[in-house]
Amino acid sequence: MTQPSSFRALVVDDTDDDQVAQFRELTDTDLPDHDVLVEVEYSSLNYKDGLVIAGPQKMARRTPLVAGADLAGTVLESSNPDWKPGDRVVVNGWGLSETQSGGYTRRQRVKPEWLVRIPDAFSTRDAMAIGTAGYTSALCLDALERYGIASDAELLVTGAAGGVGSIAVALAAAAGHTVVAATGRPETHDFLSELGASSFVDRAELQGKGRPLGKERWDAAVDAVGGSTLVNVLSQIRYGGAVAACGLTESPSMPDATVMPHILRGVALLGVDSVMAPAPLRRSAWDRLARDLPASALDSLSRVEPLSDVPRLAEEILAGKVRGRVVVDVTA
């Protein structure tokens, strides 16, 4: 592919009293001084991207920077012996779109330790259909497995129609779990059933103030929501179970939480971080995705949108109007 002398990127910068994301033409000299130059083919849209681009608060901690928390593409140049031109790579987390320039661009320079090889089972588009959301889902399933949750456990997934939740449903079902999907959007039930959900819970049942201990309903859970939902889920996990928590789309706080589920039922709250996760955990997560995520699931839970539409899509994901995963074609 011909290397462009300049290329378009979605750049976040400070104004007098706000941060604004605007398209700009960049060249290689505008990129960070890192060891590996990647020709980006696809990025993706995550809730974090929505916050950075269209959120009410300043989210980028260093500006100007290129937005986009994910990228997938091919190595063009590398001064590090671990990577060579032609390697297909993915980057998730590491502060992209917050403290480091990210994937909403045709080219990006990254640190070698950020890179993971894309499994042979996936194209670069597939890698971004998975993206940070899917990779985080795999980290959650791995955490529950390491804790000792059995493969045939009944597992609740909150925010099931979102990016993290939808892939968590597919991965959990593939692993053998009986999957209960919590969502406030009944129109997504058929979609989630195709991914492997066996039954559904209206998210309203899990919101608002709950009792310190509720009826034991599930063996384990993957929660990307936080807030009162997480509090209520913990109170209804069966004895010895666990919840892998990775998100805060409802709230970062846990109002009216008590220690009761933890000290009376031995329920564990497993925090899952996808941003700074070490390389072995990342490789394990991508191995799980390659093993357990069917290609048919990727087709049904993702769609491709042009980079030019990302500002509009950022507002939609914050409003809860995005189903599944959005792959961003950075060439369009």
Contacts of 187 (CB under 8 A, 6+ apart): none
- Helix or strand (DSSP H, E) at 85: none
Strands 19-26 and 7-14 come out as antiparallel
Position 229 scores a pLDDT of: 97
- Contact present, 249 and 164 (Cβ < 8 Å): no
Q: Give the pTM.
A: 0.88
- Answer whether 47's CB lies under 8 Å from 37's CB: no
pLDDT tens for 142-200 read 999 999 999 999 999 999 998 899 999 999 999 999 999 999 999 999 999 999 999 99
- Backbone phi, psi, residue 200, to 5°: -135, 150
User: What is the identity of the amino acid at 229?
Assistant: T
Phi then psi dihedrals of residue 150, to 5 deg: -70, 150
What's residue 5's pLDDT? 81
pLDDT value at residue 56: 79
CB atoms within 10 A of CB 148: 12
212: Cα within 13 Å, side-chain hemisphere: 8
pLDDT at residue number 210: 80
Positions in the chain short of pLDDT 70: 1-4
Give the residues across from 25 on adjacent strands. 8
Alpha-carbon distance of 105 to 124, in angstroms, equals: 15
Residue 2 confidence (pLDDT): 52
